[in-house]
Amino acid sequence: MSEDRRLEVLRAIVQDYVRTSEPVGSKSLLERHRLGVSAATVRNDMAALEDEGLITAPHTSAGRIPTDAGYRLFVDRLQQIKPMSRAERAAIARFLDGALDLDDVVSRTTRLLSSLTHQVAVMQYPSLSRSTLRHVELVPVGGTRLMIVLITSTGRVEQRVVDVGRDLTLEPDVVPTLRTLVNELAVGELLGRIPARLAAVEERVAPTDRPLAQIVVDTLAEAAQERTEERIAMAGTANLARVGSDFPTSLSQVLEALEEHVVLLRLMGSMASLDDGETVAVAIGTENPYEPLRTTSVVATTYGTAGGLGVVGPTRMDYPQAMATVRAVAHYVADILDG
């Protein structure tokens, strides 16, 4: 049997099953696809694919469905991810360009991914540890209170109001001078390196201003630390109900797993390690390390160096479309957050 023809039969089975959710028989393959061979040849090819564990019969009918291994071979043999059309790319750009802040970017991204793929969209908020400092703002807010605002390269904003123990309204030049110095030393640095960079602040201010400088430095160091605020945003869980038959015994387990954001954070982290930011990682069914999600597939990538995003759905997924959409959206998100 020709390997190329066998792969063509597998591709046709995957495409038909994804579209119809019905087991695929040799007769329907010949009717829907130009395979250029006889019905007997197709039946022989299907028998060979079944022997190799790439397709299986869900019951005693003549139809076959792909296995996890069959989906994996199909995905691995994709020559390239089909690019999205100009109209699709323009629609993505228009939808995301209107975002007002980081929360809006994340909300729009997950809603867009869910809408385009009809899967559950998952996005990791930009990681502080992989962000750099874009700007620090110091704003007197009355009397002895000072607002300290840290803005990262990914648009994340950390804000604190502290009591500095001195009336800043009586010293209008102190805060601007300190602001300039802090930005000079720390802008462009990874957040984890900010405490070390700001160690020189106290040496470069007047002795009377050192207590104020210490408060600012300590507050910025605390704000720059990675905290348990690492978050996941999600949209489209209702899409799973639309394909509930794909989860005959485990849909509730899948939903419960999706609610566990720690699991999703680890999942995004493990998927991100599988790609270089340009490719898209795909984990199919039993390849997933988390038991409750082993009836699902995950298509994910990274956006810049900040975090991961992707979709979760049944193994009966339109992989080429999901991969193209995830990659395109990730590129737009990276452009927005790095802009």
Query: What pLDDT is recorded for position 228?
Result: 41
- Identity of residue 274: L
Q: Which residues of 238-270 are buried (b: 16+ CB within 10 A; e: fewer)?
A: ebbeebeebbeebbeebeebbeeeebbbebbeb
Asked whether 71 and 37 are in contact (CB, 8 A), the reply is no
Nearest to 171 by CA among 212, 214, 131: 212
Bridge partners of 310?
122, 300
- Tell me the CATH number of domain 86-127+230-338, given options 3.30.450.40, 3.30.830.10, 3.90.1170.40, 3.40.50.880: 3.30.450.40
CATH architecture of 3-76: Orthogonal Bundle (1.10)
Torsion angle of the four alpha carbons 191, 196, 198, 201, in this order, in degrees rounded to the nearest 10: 180
Asked whether 138 and 148 are in contact (CB, 8 A), the reply is yes
Element (H, E) at 313: strand 307-314
Asked whether 44 and 29 are in contact (CB, 8 A), the reply is no
Helix or strand or coil: residue 134?
Answer: strand
State how beta strands 133-140 and 120-124 pair. unpaired
Query: What pLDDT is recorded for position 226?
Result: 54
Q: Where are the alpha helices (DSSP H) in the chain?
A: 3-20, 26-32, 39-51, 68-76, 86-97, 102-117, 174-186, 194-197, 210-224, 238-242, 251-259, 261-272, 319-338
Nearest to 186 by CA among 212, 219, 210, 209: 219
From residue 39, alpha-carbon distances to 16, 34, 44, 47 in Å are 17, 12, 9, 12
| Coarse DSSP helix, strand, coil percentages of the chain, rounded to the nearest 5 percent | 55, 20, 30
Query: Can you give the C-alpha Rg of the chain in angstroms?
Result: 26
Asked whether 148 and 133 are in contact (CB, 8 A), the reply is no
Element (H, E) at 119: none
238 CB-near residues (< 8 Å, 6+ apart): none
* Domain residue limits, the chain: 3-76, 86-127+230-338, 131-224
What CATH code is assigned to 131-224?
3.30.390.10
- Identity of residue 46: M
311 CB-near residues (< 8 Å, 6+ apart): 113, 114, 117, 119, 120, 121, 122, 298, 299, 300, 322, 325, 326
In tens digits, the chain (339 residues) has pLDDT values of 578 888 899 999 999 999 998 999 888 888 888 888 888 888 899 999 999 999 998 876 668 999 999 999 999 988 677 778 888 888 888 888 878 788 888 999 999 999 999 999 999 887 766 678 889 999 999 889 999 998 887 777 888 999 999 998 888 899 999 999 999 999 988 888 888 888 888 889 889 999 999 999 999 888 877 554 568 889 999 898 888 788 766 788 888 888 877 777 777 777 665 554 457 889 999 888 888 888 899 999 888 666 789 999 999 999 999 999 999 999 888 888 765
Asked whether 300 and 281 are in contact (CB, 8 A), the reply is yes
Q: What is the pTM of this model?
A: 0.76
